[in-house]
């Protein structure tokens, strides 16, 4: 008897709990299955303590700009390839998912080339490299390294903010919280900024320039925040993930059984007003599985856009029935970068070299036509008898004639053209927002500060916190409303008894 009552109470309390949370259980859509969408799905699940449902839309392949390409029997990183040792979220995901880190390898001896000559080349001996470095640039590289580390020290604050549940509605408020001078870095070019800090012309036009050309296929006229991120990306101890960096987004999404992957691109988002203070979104897509060309649609409480929204994207998204004052505007363009993978030898003659080196970085891309050439390692243990493989970054497809100019004994090759690799940066004022409006968020706003895996992971957590806070606020006010209603009705009941 006693036990029965206990059981009854237990059943009632469980029912009550699942009932009262049901109203506060959001239906979430995440648009894009790259690292940004994967990060958002992870942190949302965490914040809502599994009390949510997620549909994640991805028309191509989980991983997005983290993708590998196969040549011969091996796989190579075709998009995002190296991770900085201070990238905390990437480290955390690797640990969480039980993945292994690896040395990205490949390019141990590199040089900076202006199309006529190498302005700087490394040596097998570190001490010789250091001496050559000081001979050409003085102590500028050391000063630059110190400055970049100071930027990174400030940048680290984002992790504390997120950990304590603080998130930001737009890019400039995020940067401002890290350091009050950071938003100002967005409207001055790297070139001018480093000049103002009394860096030498040589170190700007060769060292800083070469990092921007290889990392972003752009030059030192970009804004200084992304410019400094690019210089940080030239540091040492960079790493990557065994089996491919794409393993992080893939596994983060696949292991989460609250996420349903829908293999379609979202074409349209329609705003639906449920009632005065409750919005919903209707997402339209074509069902790829059934092959039906007609639109299918579903309704969501929270929509997280985890893909760029500029007009030059492959799967553009339309916004429908939003009030005119919210007209969203996503200015700017993305840079095209072509990555060519080839089995060959470097044509030392073309580069005016005596011996082959592992990597060539251009500091004058208009003249060299290539942005970089570097030997690459496969993402897993290479198969026996693997041929030497090079990765070339250019702005346009290489012609066969040009390929035979820079290489000899050209064998197999493969091309991956990234039509929209990363934003084309300038110093124009921008107003990029994570929160587009209540219930609608945009991870990739952060790319306009700098595009990198870690940045999208940060963007993902940032919007997860914003979405969680907005939703629970709405939900708790709804709950109190319900409670007062209930209290009111039981009051009525008791008076009617009288
Ligand atoms: C060549 C290259 C080299 C790079 N090197 C590095 C590096 O060394 N280190 C580093 O940290 N970063 C690097 N990056 C940058 C890094 O890869 C990106 O910043 C990061 O991967 C972006 O992740 P994301 O999830 O924000 O976007 P994406 O990976 O682009 O994901 C967006 C996803 O959304 C999908 N999608 C698009 N439209 C729709 C739609 N309408 N509906 C549904 N889904 C849609 C896309 O198919 C895509 O899968 C590099 C990028 C490139 C291109
Ligand atoms: C750059 O931004 C800072 C801070 O937002 C502002 O004070 C400054 O006037 C801006 N400069 C230019 C040239 O727009
Ligand atoms: C290279 O060309 C582009 C446009 O074609 C130009 O904007 C840029 O300044 C040039 N770079 C250099 C270093 O001359
Ligand atoms: C770059 O391309 C132009 C035009 O195709 C060509 O004239 C020039 O020789 C090339 N430069 C190098 C260094 O190959
Ligand atoms: C960014 O957010 C801050 C704080 O929420 C706000 O004061 C500011 O006006 C916003 N800026 C833009 C460009 O939206």
Rounded CA-CA distance 343/186 in Å is 40
Q: Tokens for 303?
A: 């929509």
Please tell me what DSSP assigns to residue 416: E
- Residue closest via CA to ligand 1's atom 34 equals 32
Q: Is 68-245+333-423 in CATH node 3.90.660? A: yes
- Cα 229 to Cα 224, 234, 307: the distances in Å are 8, 9, 21
Which pLDDT score is estimated for 488? 61
What's the mean pLDDT in 335-362?
96
Minimal-distance CA residue to ligand 4 atom 5: 369
Rg (C-alpha) for the chain, rounded Å, is 26
Given a cut of 50, is residue 99 above it in pLDDT?
A: yes
Any ligand 4 atom below 6 A from CB of 115? yes
Q: Which of 239-243, 402-406, 488-492 has the lowest mean pLDDT?
A: 488-492
Pick from 369, 399, 405 the residue to mutate for probing ligand 4's pocket: most ligand atoms within 8 Å of its CB: 369
Half-sphere exposure of 423 (CA within 13 A, CB side): 26
- Looking at the domain covering 2-62+261-329+437-494, what would its CATH class be? alpha beta
Please check the confidence at residue 6 and state whether its pLDDT lies above 60.
no
Q: For residues 269 and 17, is the Cβ–Cβ distance under 8 A?
A: no
Determine how β-strand 118-121 pairs with β-strand 110-113: antiparallel
Q: Ligand 1: distance of its center to the CA of 93 in Å?
A: 17
Does residue 290 carry a pLDDT above 80?
Answer: no
Distance from the CA of 140 to the center of ligand 2, in angstroms?
A: 27
**pLDDT greater at residue 360 or residue 293:** 360
Confidence band of 386 (pLDDT split at 50, 70, 90): confident
pLDDT at res. 317: 97
Q: DSSP label at 398?
A: P
The full length of the chain comes to 498
Q: Could you tell me if 93 and 252 are in contact, meaning their C-beta atoms sit under 8 angstroms apart?
A: yes
- What is the pTM (predicted TM-score) of this model? 0.92
Q: Where are the domains of the chain?
A: 2-62+261-329+437-494, 68-245+333-423
Distance CA 199, CA 102 (A): 34
State the pLDDT confidence band at 108, using cuts at 50, 70 and 90.
confident
Q: Do the strands 372-375 and 359-362 form a parallel or antiparallel pair, or are they unpaired?
A: antiparallel
Ligand nearest to the CA of 366: 3
pLDDT tens digits, residue range 424-482?
999 999 999 999 999 999 999 999 999 999 999 999 999 999 999 999 998 877 666 66
Worst-scoring range by mean pLDDT, 294-303, 324-333, 411-420? 324-333
Nearest CA to ligand 4 atom 2: 369
CA 356 / ligand 2 centre spacing (Å): 46
Q: Are 104 and 245 in contact (CB under 8 A)?
A: no
Tokens of 268: 């349209």
Closest to 52 in 3D by CA, of 30, 31, 22, 32: 22
Q: Is the CB of 209 under 6 A from ligand 3?
A: no
Tell the residue nearest (CA) to atom 12 of ligand 1.
452
What's the average model confidence in pLDDT over 329-353?
A: 97
Residue 265 has pLDDT above 70, yes or no: yes
Q: Which residues contact 271 (CB under 8 A, 6 or more apart)?
A: 279, 281, 319, 320, 321, 322, 323
Q: How far is the CA of 366 from the centre of ligand 4 (A)?
A: 9
| Contact between residue 418 and residue 338 where contact means Cβ atoms under 8 Å apart | yes
% of the chain at pLDDT higher than 70:
90
76 band by pLDDT with thresholds 50, 70 and 90: very high
- Ligand 4 atom 4: residue of nearest CA: 369
For residues 228 and 145, what is the distance between their CA atoms, to the nearest angstrom?
A: 10
Assess contact for 338 and 421: CB atoms under 8 A: no
| Res. 157: pLDDT tops 50 | yes
Distant-in-sequence, close-in-space partners of 453: CB < 8 Å, separation ≥ 6: 35, 66, 80, 83, 87, 90, 245, 248
How high is the pLDDT of residue 487?
A: 61
- What band does 45 get if pLDDT is binned at 50, 70 and 90? very high
pLDDT confidence band for 278 (50 / 70 / 90):
confident
**Ligand 5, CB within 6 Å, residue ranges:** 169-170, 172-173, 431, 433
CB count in 10 Å sphere of residue 15: 10
């Amino acid at each position: 008897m006693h036990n029965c009552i206990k059981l009854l109470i237990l059943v009632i309390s469980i029912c009550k709990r699942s009932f009262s949370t049901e109203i506060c259980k959001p239906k979430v859509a995440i648009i894009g299955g790259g690292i940004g969408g994967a990060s958002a799905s992870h942190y949302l699940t965490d914040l809502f303590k599994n009390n949510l449902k997620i549909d994640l839309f991805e028309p191509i392949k989980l991983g997005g700009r983290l993708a590998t390409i196969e040549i011969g029997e091996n796989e190579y990183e075709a998009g995002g390839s190296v991770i900085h040792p201070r990238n905390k979220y990437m480290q955390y995901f690797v640990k969480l998912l039980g993945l292994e880190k690896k040395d990205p390898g490949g390019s141990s001896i590199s040089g900076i080339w202006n199309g006529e000559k190498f302005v700087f080349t490394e040596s097998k001996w570190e001490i010789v490299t250091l001496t050559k470095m000081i001979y050409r640039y003085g102590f500028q590289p050391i000063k630059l390294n110190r400055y970049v580390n100071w930027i990174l020290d400030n940048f680290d604050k984002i992790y504390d903010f997120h950990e304590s549940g603080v998130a930001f509605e737009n890019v400039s408020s995020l940067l401002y919280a890290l350091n009050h001078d950071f938003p100002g870095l967005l409207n001055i070019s790297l070139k001018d900024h480093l000049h103002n800090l009394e860096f030498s012309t040589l170190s700007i036009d060769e060292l800083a320039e070469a990092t921007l050309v290889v990392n972003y296929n752009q030059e030192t006229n970009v804004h200084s925040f992304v410019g400094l991120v690019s210089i940080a990306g030239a540091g040492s101890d960079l790493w990557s993930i065994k089996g491919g960096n794409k393993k992080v987004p893939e596994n983060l999404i696949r292991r989460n059984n609250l996420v349903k992957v829908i293999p379609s691109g979202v074409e349209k988002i329609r705003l639906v007003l449920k009632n005065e203070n409750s919005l919903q979104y209707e997402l339209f897509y074509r069902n790829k599985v059934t092959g039906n060309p007609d639109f299918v649609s579903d309704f969501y409480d929270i929509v997280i856009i985890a893909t760029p929204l500029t007009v030059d994207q492959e799967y553009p998204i339309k916004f429908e029935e939003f009030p005119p004052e919210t007209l969203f505007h996503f200015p700017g363009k993305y840079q095209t970068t072509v990555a060519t993978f080839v089995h060959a030898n470097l044509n030392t003659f073309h580069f005016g070299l005596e011996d082959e080196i592992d990597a060539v970085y251009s500091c004058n891309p208009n003249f060299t036509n290539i942005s970089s050439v570097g030997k690459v390692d496969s993402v897993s243990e290479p198969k026996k008898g693997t041929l030497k493989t090079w990765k070339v970054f250019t702005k346009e497809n290489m012609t066969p004639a040009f390929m035979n100019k820079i290489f000899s004994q050209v064998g197999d090759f493969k091309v991956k053209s990234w039509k929209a690799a990363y934003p084309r940066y300038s110093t124009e004022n921008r107003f990029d927002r994570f929160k587009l409006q209540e219930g609608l968020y945009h991870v990739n706003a952060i790319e306009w500060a700098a595009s990198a895996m870690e940045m999208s992971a940060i963007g993902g957590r940032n919007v997860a916190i914003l979405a969680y806070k907005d939703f629970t606020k709405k939900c708790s006010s709804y709950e109190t409303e319900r409670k007062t209603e209930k209290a009111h009705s039981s009051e009525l009941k008791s008076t009617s008894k009288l």
